[in-house]
Amino acid sequence: MIRLYHRPQTRSVRIHWLLEEMGLDYELETLSDAAWQSSDYRKINPFGKVPTLVDGDVTIWESTAITDYLLATYDDGQFAPPPGTPDAAEHMSWRHFAEATLISTVADYAINTFWRPDEERLADVAQYAKEAVQPILDVLNAHLDNREFMLGSAFSATDVMVGHAAISCQMLDLIGPDRAHLERYATSMRARPAFLKISADW
């Protein structure tokens, strides 16, 4: 049985959502503050971060790596293009972009505008992140012109990774009035049945 070590309002939401999209059986282990910071948790995730996924003998962390694992182990071609194709390369590019370029910048903004208590927020970092994300969102918005999903007309695991960031931007008022494609995309991702099942995570 797959077990997801999870916290609401974190990157583990993406894996929770993907598990629902893929229709897999899983157990959700929502960590308390104490469990998250415990030495026991560091035995399965050396950085003490979420998500971590355990599946039998397999323990895997880093959410993009977890999506790689779930696709390689359980996907029958529904959630990713065939390996070694141009579509697969595009799928990998955008899926990694979602963590490495997009959500890392959005998270700096979120942490310093609402996640941390007031006295721990760094206004300079929030301002920097808000400025840094603008050209990234412009590219994403342009990409979504005439595309229902990140790869065109078919939903894929990339939409969970990028969709999570798009929804976060919508909630944080980062999309702005001139990015209609991104706005439409975020709204449509939020309406997906699998997303609605995990929406209490937000």
Ligand X SMILES: N[C@@H](CCC(=O)N[C@@H](CS)C(=O)NCC(=O)O)C(=O)O
112 binds ligand X (CB under 6 A): no
**Which is nearer to ligand X, 63 or 105 (by Cβ)?**
63
**Which is nearer to ligand X, 78 or 101 (by Cβ)?**
101
188 binds ligand X (CB under 6 A): no
| Distance of closest approach, residue 172 Cβ to ligand X, in angstroms | 14
Q: Which residues pair with 55 in a beta bridge?
A: 2, 58
Q: Which residues contact 103 (CB under 8 A, 6 or more apart)?
A: 11, 164, 165, 168
| Distance of closest approach, residue 161 Cβ to ligand X, in angstroms | 9
Sheet with 2-6: strands ordered across? 26-30, 2-6, 52-55, 58-61
Rounded distance, CA 33 to CA 15, Å? Answer: 20
Total of residues contacting ligand X (CB under 6 A): 9
Rounded distance, CA 119 to CA 45, Å? Answer: 29
**Which is nearer to ligand X, 100 or 142 (by Cβ)?**
100
Q: Cα-flanking dihedrals φ and ψ of residue 91, to 5°? A: -60, -45
50 binds ligand X (CB under 6 A): yes
Q: What is the DSSP letter of 52?
A: E
Stretch that binds ligand X, among 24-32, 49-57, 70-78, 168-176 (CB under 6 A): 49-57
99 binds ligand X (CB under 6 A): yes
| Distance of closest approach, residue 115 Cβ to ligand X, in angstroms | 9
| C-alpha separations of 184 from 33, 41, 146, 167 in Å | 35, 38, 11, 10
68 binds ligand X (CB under 6 A): no
**Which is nearer to ligand X, 103 or 194 (by Cβ)?**
103
62 binds ligand X (CB under 6 A): yes
Interface residue list for ligand X (CB under 6 A): 10-11, 48-51, 62-63, 99
